């Protein structure tokens, strides 16, 4: 996604603030028209006006609550049918603080609806559209907690592990159809998610929190370098490469006709 004009429409979910709004600014500067999706109409309108003024791109806003099935279906149908859309940034998500035993399960249900079901429906719509066009980019926003479930509640980290697995599978599924897939695993990022989750950002060590501009710029640099998995804070990419190699090394022995000797009396 080098800097040039007339590159199609980028649909960004969770676009009214934080990571989504920053992606909108960066992709507008790279020449993408925008379709911004979020719940907050006022914020969407303000961001759209700013980007039209600053970049001259076309910006459409679409208010939708992706935890509501009717809204999700409306966005998915637009994504599936609009050939002008060339990028999906599947960013909308929420975190919930607390343990499984002590937290209102309705809140976890809503999180799973947004972090898993909505992400899946939109990824499926993008996959269908982009495959038919023979081009397109799907960027899914996960979290480093996909790799470290012990650091937060397993329900949230599990939703992000799902996004990682989905992205890796989609890359194999779509790679020969002209479609690029990237999954971004941010660490702690300075956005409103902390207050919304019930975890004040002031309670987090400041040395592990990345500013959102730096995070998105790193993610886009990773995309430009051809990465499938981008971990913006990871200093040495060989750590990830060794992790992946270990996983592939185990693969031939994960399913065999006989149990391992250590389980036999």
Structure tokens at 195: 């207050």
SS3 (DSSP) at 79: helix
The answer to whether the CB of 16 falls within 8 A of the CB of 36 is yes
Question: What span, in angstroms and rounded, lies between the C-alpha atoms of 4 and 29?
Answer: 8
Looking at the annotation, which residues are catalytic? 156
**Could you tell me how many residues make up the chain?**
265
Structure tokens at 173: 């599924």
Question: What span, in angstroms and rounded, lies between the C-alpha atoms of 157 and 142?
Answer: 9
In a 13 Å sphere around the CA of 182, the CA atoms on its Cβ side amount to 25
Instruction: Write out the H or E segment, with its range, that includes residue 81.
Output: helix 69-81
């Amino acid at each position: 996604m080098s800097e040039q004009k007339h590159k199609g429409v980028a649909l960004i979910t969770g676009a009214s603030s934080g990571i989504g709004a920053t992606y909108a600014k960066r992709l507008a500067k790279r020449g993408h028209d925008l379709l911004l999706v979020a719940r907050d109409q006022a914020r969407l309108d303000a961001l759209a006006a700013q980007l039209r003024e600053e970049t001259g791109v076309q910006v459409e806003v679409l208010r939708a609550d992706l935890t509501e099935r009717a809204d999700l279906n409306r966005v998915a149908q637009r994504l599936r049918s609009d050939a002008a859309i060339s990028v999906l940034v599947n960013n909308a998500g929420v975190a919930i603080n607390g343990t499984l035993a002590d937290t209102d399960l309705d809140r976890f249900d809503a999180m799973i609806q947004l972090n898993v079901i909505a992400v899946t429906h939109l990824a499926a719509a993008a996959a269908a559209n982009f495959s038919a066009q023979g081009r397109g980019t799907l960027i899914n926003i996960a979290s480093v907690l996909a790799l470290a479930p012990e650091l937060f509640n397993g329900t949230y980290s599990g939703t992000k592990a799902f996004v990682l697995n989905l992205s890796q599978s989609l890359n194999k599924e779509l790679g020969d159809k002209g479609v690029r897939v990237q999954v971004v695993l941010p660490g702690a990022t300075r956005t409103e998610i902390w207050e919304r989750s019930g975890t004040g950002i002031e309670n987090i060590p400041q040395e592990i929190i990345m500013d959102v501009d730096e995070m998105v710029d790193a993610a886009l640099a990773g995309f430009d370098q051809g990465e499938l998995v981008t971990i913006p804070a990871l200093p040495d990419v060989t750590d990830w490469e060794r992790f992946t190699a270990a996983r592939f090394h185990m693969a031939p022995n994960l399913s065999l006709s006989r149990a391992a000797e250590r389980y036999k009396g």
